Chains A and B, each alone.
Chain A
Amino acid sequence: GENVEQHPSTLSVQEGDSAVIKCTYSDSASNYFPWYKQELGKRPQLIIDIRSNVGEKKDQRIAVTLNKTAKHFSLHITETQPEDSAVYFCAASPDNYGQNFVFGPGTRLSVLP
C-alpha cells in the first residue's frame, strides 16, 4: 500500500522568511495530493491540492510542486506570518471510488516574530 513520508517534523522560521515542507510517496498510482493545515485545537483544513498532471500550483503565498518521476511533492510558504504557525499534513490518494488518503506524519511549523 501507499506510504507517505514527510520532512522535517518540526520547522522554525523567522517571520517573513520562506518555509518548505517535503513529502515522498511510494505508490505510483497516487494522483491527487492535498495539503492540510491544523491550527492548535482545530480541525485539519485543506489549504492547497495538486493533481498528478500538474507540476506546480500557486495560491497567493502558498505553492505546491510535484515531481511524479521522483515521487515527491513539496509545500512552499513565502513571506511567512505568525498565523502560519500550525501543523501541516501532506497526503496522497489514488483517484478511485472509495479510496482513502494516506497522510504524512505532519510538520510543526513555528513562525517566530
Chain B
Amino acid sequence: DVKVTQSSRYLVKRTGEKVFLECVQDMDHENMFWYRQDPGLGLRLIYFSYDVKMKEKGDIPEGYSVSREKKERFSLILESASTNQTSMYLCASRVTGGHQPQHFGDGTRLSIL
C-alpha cells in the first residue's frame, strides 16, 4: 500500500518566517505534488515535480518554492510566510503512466500568525 507521509499534522508559524513542509513517499513514484486546500475552493495545485530536481509551477505558485533532491522527498517552502498562506497543505504522489490515481498524505494544517 502506498504511503505518503507529511512531517507535521499541525504547524504554527509567524509572519515573515521561512517555513518548510516535508513530504516523503515510499513507492518510488516519479511524480509528486503539493496542493493547498481551502473551503469552497477544492484542491489547488501549487507545484509538482516529475523527476528529481525537476519542478513545474501549478496554478498558485506565488509565495512558494519547492525542492526535490531525492526521488522520495518533496519539500514545500514558504519563503516569507504571510497570513493568507494559512491553510491545509496536501502532498500527493503518483506513478508515471496511464490512468493512475494520486495518493495523498494526511495533510499539514498550517497557521500563520
Number of A interface residues in the complex (CB < 8 A): 24
Assess the B31–A45 pair: CB atoms within 8 A. no
With A43-B106, A98-B50 given, is the CB distance from A106 to B42 under 8 Å? yes
0 or 1 for each of A21-52: is its CB under 8 Å from B? (1 = yes): 00000000001101010000011111001010
0 or 1 for each of A94-113: is its CB under 8 Å from B? (1 = yes): 01011011111110000000
Assess the B104–A32 pair: CB atoms within 8 A. no
Q: Which residue of A lies closest to B47 (CB)?
A: A100
0 or 1 for each of B69-113: is its CB under 8 Å from A? (1 = yes): 000000000000000000000100000101111111111000000
With both chains docked as a complex, state the minimum distance between the C-beta of A93 and any C-beta of chain B, in angstroms: 9
Chain B contacts for A44, CB-based, 8 A: 43, 90, 104
Q: Which residue of A lies closest to B38 (CB)?
A: A105
Q: Which residue of A lies closest to B58 (CB)?
A: A100
With A97-B96, A100-B48 given, is the CB distance from A89 to B43 under 8 Å? yes
Assess the A104–B90 pair: CB atoms within 8 A. no
A9 within 8 A of B: yes
With both chains docked as a complex, state the minimum distance between the C-beta of A4 and any C-beta of chain B, in angstroms: 8
Chain A contacts for B40, CB-based, 8 A: 9, 105-106
Of the candidates A43, A102, A105, which one forms a contact with B104 in the assembled complex, judged by CB atoms under 8 Å apart?
A43
With both chains docked as a complex, state the minimum distance between the C-beta of A40 and any C-beta of chain B, in angstroms: 12
With both chains docked as a complex, state the minimum distance between the C-beta of B4 and any C-beta of chain A, in angstroms: 8
Known: A89-B42, A100-B31. 9 other contacts (CB 8 A): A32-B99, A34-B101, A43-B104, A46-B103, A49-B101, A98-B30, A101-B102, A105-B42, A106-B40
